[in-house]
Amino acid sequence: KYVEHALICLDGIYRKFEDKVWAEKEIAEKGVEFKTKWGKAVGIETVNDEVIRIAQRTGYKLALRKDPKKGHVRIKSLPDPKIDLTPVYEKLKELDARATWFLHISRHMILNGSMKNPKSIPSKLSLKEIIEVIKKQVKS
């Protein structure tokens, strides 16, 4: 029984490593790099949520992921006190008022869609449109 449990745990760990390697490849091949006043940022269209963590660990101050299947959007910045995503959140709400947008209390995370809220409405905005909103609201 212990061996069976250990094998299940090892499978999970292996899967996490696969996701990280896949995320690194996705960022390198499909990532759209852009500048903000806080530093470099990246946007990517992928189902792999690990890209946000990997992007931040590799030097990006802000990472944006749009799920091509569900349409959900995640925007996360490093927890730097100088970073405030409120203007981006306000503009996204204005441009896509029908979508379900959530600004985290830290002001470092904007979420659109989640497993915790299955009734949330995905954004109709494209990755390119969201990047343009960020660039205009966060002038470098």
74: Cβ contacts below 8 Å, ≥ 6 apart: 49, 52, 64, 65, 109, 110, 111, 112
pLDDT single digits (tens) 116-128? 888 899 999 999 9
43: Cβ contacts below 8 Å, ≥ 6 apart: 31, 32, 34, 63, 64, 65, 66, 127, 130, 131, 134
The whole-angstrom separation of Cα 62 and Cα 51 is 11
Tell which CATH classification among 1.20.1250, 3.30.70, 1.10.10, 3.10.310 matches the domain 2-137. Answer: 3.10.310
The whole-angstrom separation of Cα 67 and Cα 137 is 22
Mean confidence (pLDDT) of the chain: 90
Which residue ranges make up each domain of the chain? 2-137
- pLDDT given for residue 22 in this prediction: 67
pLDDT single digits (tens) 33-78? 999 999 999 999 999 989 999 999 999 999 999 999 999 999 999 9
